[in-house]
Amino acid sequence: MDLITLKQYLRARKVTPIQDAAHHFRVDIDAIRPLFDVWLHKGKIRKRLDTGGACKGCCKCDPATVEVYEWVD
């Protein structure tokens, strides 16, 4: 996985929790976070305060730890 692959994934999903992206690419959240940070600093994604419907409510995660990002075109 590289920045372009992550970009394509994020653009297609529009809104995604970082946990979902890590699961999709089969990596640790700590491994994918630096790539999210690149797009965040470039202004291509933004961190959302609400889940925007991205969380399906399975109750497995602590809601305070769910990080949701939105692709900004």
Chain-centre distance for alpha carbon 9: 9
Band of the pLDDT at 1, cuts 50, 70, 90?
Answer: confident
Q: 3-13 vs 29-41: helix axis angle to the nearest 10?
A: 80
- The number of domains in the chain is 1
pLDDT in tens, 10-40: 999 999 999 999 999 999 999 999 999 999 9
**Which structural domain range is residue 8 located in?**
3-71
pLDDT for the residue numbered 66:
79
Band of the pLDDT at 58, cuts 50, 70, 90?
Answer: low
Cβ contacts of 32-38, under 8 Å, gap ≥ 24: 32/1, 32/6, 35/1, 35/2, 35/3, 35/6, 36/6, 36/69, 38/3
Kindly state the average pLDDT of the residues 45-68: 68
**Which of the two residues, 37 and 58, has the higher pLDDT score?**
37
Radius of gyration of the chain (CA): 11
